[in-house]
Structure 1
Amino acid sequence: MTTDVGSETASGRLGGLLRAPLSPRAWRDTTVVLAGFPLALAASAIVVTMLALTVSLAITAVLVIPLLAALFWLSRAFTFWQRARLRGLLGISIPPRSRLPREDWLRGLWTEARTKETWRHVLYHTLAGVTGTAGAVLVSGFWTLGALFSTILAHGWLLPDTSRIDRSPLVFASLTVLGLILLLAAPAVAANAVKVDIGLAKALLAPSRSETLAQRVETLSASRTEMIDAADAERRRIERNLHDGTQQRLVSLAMNLGMARTTLTGIPPEAREAIEQAHEEAKLALSELRDLVRGLHPAVLDDLGLDAALSGIAARSPVPVRLLVELPRRPPRAVETIAYFVVSESLTNAAKHAHAKQVDIVVEMTTDEVLGIIVSDDGRGGADPTLGTGLRGLAQRVGSVDGTMSIDSPQGGPTRLVVTLPCAW
């Protein structure tokens, strides 16, 4: 039974070997190799020439700059065509290169020249000319010589009748066998040439693991930025709707109830008490709504900036506040919003939990484009971000823009909160 299985396996392999020259994969691989040869050869010749010119004229910066620009542009074009060839003929998608930052022309050229991925692409086009030429020569040679030698018995009589050509049957039989071997080996040669082509493309054209991770981090950062901006825009929309709609209706209701409370003097005590209670409830609801609107997104922050917004909450604070704000320019909108809520939450904690008598706040932008916030109070201390949601929420807000937050609050006080927010975020 084992012998039969072995015989069937051997016969199957032999049948596959004999059918290989006629298989679609053999012709597909051959097409890939031969189609890529002229592109690889032309790209290699042009890239090597441009490199040689660039190196030879390196002492003249005026000529090197346009040569480098042309080299990188041609490299990108050849890379695009090679990716299209592999995708169209083999269905293999080589990931695109990581996006370069948008800069002016000269600075962008310098950034591209310092990027490893750029020179990997240049190296690919330099090597692809060698490997592509070698693969095309081998594949075409195996197919051509195989077809020529395997059929020599049919066309050997056409050879010129000279003494240098041996027309003996043994020579023709040997050439026929050699031709059949070349034909049978041609699919394997084409398949290996394609593997070399794909391997070289994946190694030098595809982003490396570190570049892929960096690109993913960049994508996630951009997505996070969009989500934060969308959430901030939604808060502003809700704040405007509440301010222009619900809050105005409550103001009108409170005014009408106040007028009724003042003018309706000859009504039963029960009705008067109900009006007075409704008036107080309306004023309380209006006050709570204003706090809610201010907590969603303060309108003054958009209109007048962070300095005015912080001055407003410092003036409303039940604890005396000394505020110093030094901003040479307005920070990004998201950073302004987070800074506002950091100060607002700190003042709330100082009044509600620390029972402080004085709060000092310093908000300034350092030279390295970082917004620094320092909030200190003389309260009883003991603030711990792990024990409450307020400080934990602040830490999450700060971390959403890659900021840092540290708090020093021993038992008995004082408490010192330090927050840094990158303004180049």
Structure 2
Amino acid sequence: MALRGALRRSYTWTTEHAPWSAWARRNTAFTAAAIPAALPVLLGLAYAGVSPGRSPVPLLLLFALSPLLTALQRSRFWSLLGLDVPEVVREERWWSPRGLLERVRSEATWRQYGYHLLVSPLAAAAGALVVLAWVLGTAGAAVYAWGWTLPSSDLHLEYDVITVGGGLLLLSAPWLAALATRLDAFAAAALLGPNRSRELARRVEDLAESRAGVLDAADLERRRIERDLHDGAQQRLVALAMNLGIARATLTDLPPEVQAVIDEAHREAKEAIEELNNLVRGLHPAVLEDRGLDAALSGIAARAPFPVELAVDIGARPGATIEAVAYFVVSETLANVAKHARADRCHVRVERVPGRRGDLLRLTVTDDGVGGADPARGTGLVGLRKRVGSVDGTIMITSPLGGPTVITVELPCGL
């Protein structure tokens, strides 16, 4: 079975790469099409060589026709190979004065000009060689079919050699066409299309801008939710708690069962208000927007169930998004310490430090708990990583068994 499968694969590969295969026809047609596509360049170069005194004229003409020649080459690649060579995006139309100035100053124009002056003539020469190989190979392999037209019929040995040579030439012609096609496609991708490194850099910048817009929109949405909760649901709960408190104070002649229900409802309303306050504060505390990160983190430290030493030295305030992420990181970290670390105290330090691409906001949270924090076993640290990664920040967690646990986060201030 293995031998039969190997033979079947060999037969399939041979038929797919035979001189009569679609692969051979496609590559041959593509390389042959390079000849008419290069004729304007060849004629211009020939004219410049024959008439040296007027040599700038054809070169300027080729420069003016460069967009049309580039479009022609793109069409050749797409129609015959199905290869899409991306078009260079320009801000101005190429025939306008600003467009001409942009083309002269653009490195993409000179790469395209280099393709038309260097690669296109070489591709045309390769196409001519491929066509010549097919013609000579066919004529040589079929020499016995037309050899009777020659005056002498005693050249049977020479006919045998010519037939074998023609057959070998027919077998090599598709591979010569494939090699020319591969080299031409590589050159076109490098010279006719946009600069890939610059396109990637521009794409990264676009993605960074769009991500910054998404983060700003999410921050605005959190603020809107915080405002709606504070001005809507929270006020309603406060009014409900006040009404229940008034009812409990004034309706003293109610049965004990009813009085107990009112007391329970009043207590539940106050607890709901407290939970809603915590929720609103966690979404986007007003003190963070009004007074900055130092005051907001001081409130978190004061509410922690253990002593927290807080040191903030950041100078100028970072962006609102970075402040929100830093607040979330410290709040979530202290909550995790309270739940899992069994720590007696914690130290939080926030400082601005220089980085390779601008200043960084460094957060360091250290506790004296039991250690052993593992991001793979809990959702809290995973959430921290995702929140920090959303602004291109980094997080490093050091938590050996027995402690201490040190969480270091660095956020770019410029976002």
Instruction: Give me the TM-score of the superposition, normalised by structure 1.
Output: 0.58
> What amino acid sits opposite 1:392 in the alignment?
V
- Trace 1:107-146 onto structure 2 (pairs within 5 A): 121-130=109-118
* Residue among 403, 414, 423 paired with 2:413: 423
**Secondary structure of the structure 2 residue equivalent to 1:267:** coil
Q: Distance in 2 between matches of 1:309 and 1:39?
A: 73
Residue in 2 that maps onto 1:272: 259
- Trace 1:328-343 onto structure 2 (pairs within 5 A): 328-343=315-330
> What amino acid sits opposite 1:122 in the alignment?
W
Q: Distance in 2 between matches of 1:362 and 1:337?
A: 16
Deviation (angstroms), 1:95? 2.2
Residue in 1 that maps onto 2:397: 407
Evaluate the alpha carbon distance shift between residue 297 and residue 26 of structure 1 in structure 2; reply closer, same or farther with a 3 A threshold: same
8 Å contact 2:115–2:188 — kept in the other structure?
Answer: no
**Secondary structure of the structure 2 residue equivalent to 1:293:** helix
Structure 2 unaligned spans of 5+: 1-18, 21-28, 47-54, 57-62, 91-105, 128-178
- Trace 1:116-265 onto structure 2 (pairs within 5 A): 121-130=109-118, 200-207=187-194, 221-222=208-209, 224-265=211-252
Alignment pair present for 1:305 and 2:296: no
Deviation (angstroms), 1:390? 1.2
Deviations 1:14-41 (A, max 9, x none): 9xxxxxxxxx999997875457779999
- RMSD, matched Cα: 5.0
Deviations 1:249-301 (A, max 9, x none): 11111121112222222222222211111110111111112222222333332
Deviations 1:350-405 (A, max 9, x none): 3333333322211011122111111122x332241333221221122222323222
Q: Distance in 2 between matches of 1:33 and 1:376?
A: 70
> What amino acid sits opposite 1:292 in the alignment?
L
8 Å contact 2:30–2:181 — kept in the other structure?
Answer: no
8 Å contact 1:403–1:420 — kept in the other structure?
Answer: yes
Deviation (angstroms), 1:220? 5.1
Evaluate the alpha carbon distance shift between residue 205 and residue 300 of structure 1 in structure 2; reply closer, same or farther with a 3 A threshold: farther
Instruction: Give me the TM-score of the superposition, normalised by structure 2.
Output: 0.60
Alignment pair present for 1:95 and 2:86: yes
Q: Distance in 1 between matches of 2:346 and 2:213?
A: 35
* Residue among 376, 388, 391 paired with 2:366: 376
Evaluate the alpha carbon distance shift between residue 411 and residue 132 of structure 1 in structure 2; reply closer, same or farther with a 3 A threshold: closer
Residue in 2 that maps onto 1:65: none
Q: Distance in 2 between matches of 1:337 and 1:363?
A: 14
Deviation (angstroms), 1:414? 2.8
- Trace 1:71-86 onto structure 2 (pairs within 5 A): 83-86=70-73
Deviation (angstroms), 1:315? 2.1
* Residue among 369, 381, 385 paired with 2:374: 385
Evaluate the alpha carbon distance shift between residue 416 and residue 248 of structure 1 in structure 2; reply closer, same or farther with a 3 A threshold: same
Q: Distance in 2 between matches of 1:382 and 1:90?
A: 61
> What amino acid sits opposite 2:369 in the alignment?
R
Q: Distance in 2 between matches of 1:38 and 1:251?
A: 88
8 Å contact 2:119–2:184 — kept in the other structure?
Answer: yes
> What amino acid sits opposite 2:373 in the alignment?
D
8 Å contact 1:363–1:373 — kept in the other structure?
Answer: yes
8 Å contact 1:40–1:132 — kept in the other structure?
Answer: no
Evaluate the alpha carbon distance shift between residue 207 and residue 384 of structure 1 in structure 2; reply closer, same or farther with a 3 A threshold: farther
Deviation (angstroms), 1:84? 4.4
Q: Distance in 1 between matches of 2:125 and 2:360?
A: 61
**Secondary structure of the structure 2 residue equivalent to 1:353:** helix
8 Å contact 1:124–1:200 — kept in the other structure?
Answer: no
**In percent, how many aligned pairs have the same letter?**
48
Q: Distance in 1 between matches of 2:317 and 2:215?
A: 18
Structure 1 unaligned spans of 5+: 1-12, 15-23, 42-47, 50-74, 100-117, 140-191
Alignment pair present for 1:327 and 2:314: yes
Residue in 2 that maps onto 1:394: 384
